[in-house]
Protein backbone atom coordinates (compact mmCIF):
# COMPACT_ATOMS: atom_id res chain seq x y z
CA UNK A 1 0.00 0.00 0.00
CA UNK A 2 1.82 3.17 -1.11
CA UNK A 3 1.94 6.31 1.04
CA UNK A 4 1.43 9.96 0.08
CA UNK A 5 4.52 12.11 0.19
CA UNK A 6 3.19 14.55 2.82
CA UNK A 7 2.27 11.62 5.09
CA UNK A 8 5.77 10.16 4.82
CA UNK A 9 7.28 13.60 5.50
CA UNK A 10 5.00 14.08 8.50
CA UNK A 11 5.88 10.67 9.89
CA UNK A 12 9.61 11.33 9.60
CA UNK A 13 9.27 14.86 10.98
CA UNK A 14 7.62 13.72 14.17
CA UNK A 15 10.18 10.97 14.67
CA UNK A 16 13.13 13.28 13.95
CA UNK A 17 11.84 16.69 15.15
CA UNK A 18 14.97 18.80 14.79
CA UNK A 19 16.21 17.15 11.59
CA UNK A 20 16.35 18.70 8.16
CA UNK A 21 14.55 16.32 5.87
CA UNK A 22 14.26 16.07 2.10
CA UNK A 23 11.74 13.68 0.57
CA UNK A 24 11.62 13.30 -3.21
CA UNK A 25 9.08 11.29 -5.12
CA UNK A 26 11.07 9.26 -7.65
CA UNK A 27 8.33 7.70 -9.69
CA UNK A 28 5.14 9.64 -9.01
CA UNK A 29 3.44 6.51 -7.75
CA UNK A 30 3.66 7.22 -4.00
CA UNK A 31 5.79 4.09 -3.75
CA UNK A 32 9.35 5.09 -4.69
CA UNK A 33 10.96 7.83 -2.61
CA UNK A 34 14.39 9.22 -1.97
CA UNK A 35 14.70 10.38 1.63
CA UNK A 36 17.63 12.21 3.17
CA UNK A 37 17.71 13.07 6.86
CA UNK A 38 20.31 15.10 8.71
CA UNK A 39 19.78 14.81 12.45
CA UNK A 40 21.72 14.90 15.69
CA UNK A 41 19.95 11.62 16.52
CA UNK A 42 22.49 9.94 14.22
CA UNK A 43 25.59 11.35 15.87
CA UNK A 44 27.92 8.55 16.91
CA UNK A 45 25.94 5.85 15.11
CA UNK A 46 27.29 3.70 12.28
CA UNK A 47 25.55 3.94 8.91
CA UNK A 48 23.68 0.70 9.54
CA UNK A 49 22.51 1.88 12.97
CA UNK A 50 21.36 5.19 11.47
CA UNK A 51 19.32 3.42 8.80
CA UNK A 52 17.96 0.92 11.36
CA UNK A 53 16.81 3.85 13.48
CA UNK A 54 14.90 5.25 10.52
CA UNK A 55 13.40 1.88 9.57
CA UNK A 56 12.36 1.28 13.18
CA UNK A 57 10.60 4.63 13.28
CA UNK A 58 8.78 3.79 10.04
CA UNK A 59 7.83 0.40 11.47
CA UNK A 60 5.47 -1.56 9.32
CA UNK A 61 5.93 0.86 6.47
CA UNK A 62 8.98 -0.75 5.03
CA UNK A 63 9.07 -3.46 2.35
CA UNK A 64 5.52 -4.67 2.59
CA UNK A 65 3.95 -1.29 2.30
CA UNK A 66 6.54 1.09 0.95
CA UNK A 67 8.24 -0.71 -1.89
CA UNK A 68 11.29 1.38 -2.32
CA UNK A 69 12.94 4.14 -0.31
CA UNK A 70 16.44 5.29 -1.06
CA UNK A 71 17.83 6.50 2.21
CA UNK A 72 20.68 8.88 2.99
CA UNK A 73 21.39 9.76 6.62
CA UNK A 74 23.87 12.12 8.21
CA UNK A 75 24.63 13.27 11.74
CA UNK A 76 25.14 16.91 12.62
CA UNK A 77 28.74 17.93 13.30
CA UNK B 1 8.12 -13.15 12.03
CA UNK B 2 10.13 -15.42 14.35
CA UNK B 3 13.34 -16.90 12.89
CA UNK B 4 13.19 -20.70 13.25
CA UNK B 5 16.32 -22.65 14.15
CA UNK B 6 16.58 -24.44 10.80
CA UNK B 7 16.40 -21.22 8.76
CA UNK B 8 18.86 -19.54 11.10
CA UNK B 9 21.34 -22.42 10.60
CA UNK B 10 20.87 -22.27 6.82
CA UNK B 11 21.64 -18.53 6.87
CA UNK B 12 24.65 -18.99 9.15
CA UNK B 13 26.02 -21.70 6.82
CA UNK B 14 25.65 -19.50 3.76
CA UNK B 15 27.44 -16.54 5.29
CA UNK B 16 29.93 -18.83 6.99
CA UNK B 17 30.96 -20.66 3.82
CA UNK B 18 31.34 -17.54 1.69
CA UNK B 19 33.63 -14.65 2.62
CA UNK B 20 31.35 -12.34 0.64
CA UNK B 21 27.66 -13.22 0.41
CA UNK B 22 24.68 -11.40 -1.07
CA UNK B 23 21.05 -12.17 -0.31
CA UNK B 24 19.21 -10.84 -3.34
CA UNK B 25 16.13 -11.18 -5.55
CA UNK B 26 17.10 -13.24 -8.57
CA UNK B 27 20.78 -13.95 -9.26
CA UNK B 28 23.71 -11.81 -10.44
CA UNK B 29 23.08 -12.69 -14.08
CA UNK B 30 19.29 -12.27 -13.82
CA UNK B 31 18.54 -9.86 -10.98
CA UNK B 32 14.81 -9.55 -10.33
CA UNK B 33 14.76 -6.15 -8.65
CA UNK B 34 16.52 -2.84 -9.29
CA UNK B 35 18.18 -2.71 -5.91
CA UNK B 36 19.46 -6.29 -6.17
CA UNK B 37 20.74 -5.53 -9.64
CA UNK B 38 22.72 -2.51 -8.40
CA UNK B 39 24.08 -4.47 -5.44
CA UNK B 40 25.35 -7.38 -7.56
CA UNK B 41 26.76 -4.99 -10.17
CA UNK B 42 28.76 -3.21 -7.44
CA UNK B 43 30.29 -6.52 -6.32
CA UNK B 44 31.07 -7.51 -9.92
CA UNK B 45 32.78 -4.16 -10.43
CA UNK B 46 34.95 -4.83 -7.35
CA UNK B 47 36.02 -8.03 -9.08
CA UNK B 48 35.32 -10.02 -5.93
CA UNK B 49 34.02 -13.58 -5.81
CA UNK B 50 30.75 -13.72 -3.93
CA UNK B 51 28.16 -16.27 -2.99
CA UNK B 52 24.50 -15.37 -3.48
CA UNK B 53 21.05 -16.62 -2.64
CA UNK B 54 17.84 -15.90 -4.49
CA UNK B 55 15.47 -15.16 -1.63
CA UNK B 56 12.53 -15.45 -4.00
CA UNK B 57 13.15 -19.20 -4.06
CA UNK B 58 12.56 -19.58 -0.32
CA UNK B 59 10.02 -17.48 1.60
CA UNK B 60 11.51 -18.59 4.94
CA UNK B 61 14.93 -17.22 3.97
CA UNK B 62 13.35 -14.08 2.50
CA UNK B 63 11.63 -13.25 5.80
CA UNK B 64 14.14 -14.92 8.10
CA UNK B 65 17.09 -12.86 6.87
CA UNK B 66 15.24 -9.68 7.86
CA UNK B 67 14.94 -10.73 11.49
CA UNK B 68 18.44 -12.23 11.43
CA UNK B 69 19.98 -8.84 10.60
CA UNK B 70 17.19 -6.62 11.93
CA UNK B 71 17.03 -5.05 8.46
CA UNK B 72 13.70 -4.86 6.62
CA UNK B 73 14.76 -5.08 2.99
CA UNK B 74 16.62 -7.14 0.36
CA UNK B 75 19.42 -7.10 -0.87
CA UNK B 76 21.68 -7.67 2.10
CA UNK B 77 25.47 -7.92 1.91
CA UNK B 78 27.60 -9.93 4.35
CA UNK B 79 31.39 -9.84 4.52
CA UNK B 80 33.02 -12.45 6.74
CA UNK B 81 29.65 -13.15 8.38
CA UNK B 82 29.17 -9.45 9.26
CA UNK B 83 26.16 -7.58 7.90
CA UNK B 84 27.46 -4.64 5.87
CA UNK B 85 24.26 -3.10 4.56
CA UNK B 86 21.65 -2.91 1.85
CA UNK B 87 21.79 -1.26 -1.56
CA UNK B 88 21.96 2.33 -0.28
CA UNK B 89 24.90 1.66 2.03
CA UNK B 90 26.67 -0.43 -0.62
CA UNK B 91 26.32 2.43 -3.11
CA UNK B 92 27.63 4.99 -0.61
CA UNK B 93 30.56 2.74 0.33
CA UNK B 94 31.37 1.95 -3.31
CA UNK B 95 31.36 5.65 -4.24
CA UNK B 96 33.60 6.60 -1.30
CA UNK B 97 35.97 3.65 -1.83
CA UNK B 98 35.11 2.26 1.61
CA UNK B 99 33.83 -1.03 0.17
CA UNK B 100 37.11 -1.90 -1.50
CA UNK B 101 38.95 -0.81 1.64
CA UNK B 102 36.74 -3.04 3.81
CA UNK B 103 37.21 -6.01 1.49
CA UNK B 104 40.97 -5.56 1.43
CA UNK B 105 41.29 -5.08 5.18
CA UNK B 106 39.35 -8.34 5.57
CA UNK B 107 41.95 -9.99 3.29
CA UNK B 108 39.62 -10.45 0.36
CA UNK B 109 41.06 -10.07 -3.11
CA UNK B 110 39.52 -7.42 -5.36
CA UNK B 111 40.16 -6.52 -8.98
CA UNK B 112 38.51 -3.28 -9.93
CA UNK B 113 37.23 -3.48 -13.48
Distance from B71 to chain A by nearest Cα, in Å? 7
Does residue A67 carry a pLDDT above 70?
no
pLDDT for B55 equals 97
CB–CB of B20/B51 below 8 Å? yes
* For testing contact with chain A, the best of B64, B65, B88 (most A CBs within 10 A): B88
Distance from B63 to chain A by nearest Cα, in Å? 11
Chain A: residue whose CA lies nearest to B36: A68
What fold is seen in the domain A5-74?
A: GMP Synthetase; Chain A, domain 3 (3.30.300)
* For testing contact with chain A, the best of B1, B56, B73 (most A CBs within 10 A): B73
Q: Is the pTM of this model over 0.80?
A: yes
What secondary structure does DSSP assign to A2-50, as a single string?
A: ---HHHHHHHHHHHSTT-EEEEEESSSSSSEEEEEEE-GGGTT--HHHH
pLDDT for A11 equals 87
Degrees to nearest 5, angle at CA A37 with A34 and A41: 150
Task: Mark yes or no for CB contact A63/B88 under 8 Å.
Answer: no
Using 50, 70 and 90 to split pLDDT, how confident is the model at A58?
confident
Residue of B70, B73, B85 with shortest CB distance to A47: B85
For chain A, the structural domain boundaries read 5-74
pLDDT for A44 equals 94
- pLDDT, chain A, mean: 87
Rounded Cα distance, A42 and B66, in Å: 22
On the question of a cis peptide bond just before residue B75, with omega within 30 degrees of 0, the verdict is: yes
Residue of A52, A70, A72 with shortest CB distance to B71: A52
Contacts of B35 in chain A (CB under 8 A): 68
Distance from B47 to chain A by nearest Cα, in Å? 24
Lowest mean pLDDT among A15-24, A58-67, B21-30, B83-92: A58-67
Return the exposure string of B17-54: e unless at least 16 CB atoms fall within 10 Å of the residue's CB, then b: ebbbbbbbbbbbeebebebbbbbbebbeebebebebbb
pLDDT for B30 equals 97
Please give the helix or strand (H or E) that residue B76 lies within, else none: strand B76-79
pLDDT for A1 equals 65
CB–CB of B68/B91 below 8 Å? no
The mean pLDDT of A41-56, rounded to a whole number, is: 92
**Residues of chain B falling short of pLDDT 70:** 1
Write out pLDDT tens, residues B7-30: 999 999 999 999 999 999 999 999
pLDDT for A64 equals 57
Domains, chain B: 5-105 (3.40.30.10)
ipTM > 0.85, yes or no = no
Distance from A9 to chain B by nearest Cα, in Å? 19
Does residue A63 carry a pLDDT above 80?
no
Amino acid sequence: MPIEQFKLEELIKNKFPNANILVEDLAGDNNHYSVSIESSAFNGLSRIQQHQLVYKSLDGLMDNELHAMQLKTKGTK
Amino acid sequence: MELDENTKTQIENMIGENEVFLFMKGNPDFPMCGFSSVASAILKKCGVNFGHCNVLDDEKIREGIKSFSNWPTIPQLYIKKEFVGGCDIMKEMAESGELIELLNTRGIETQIS
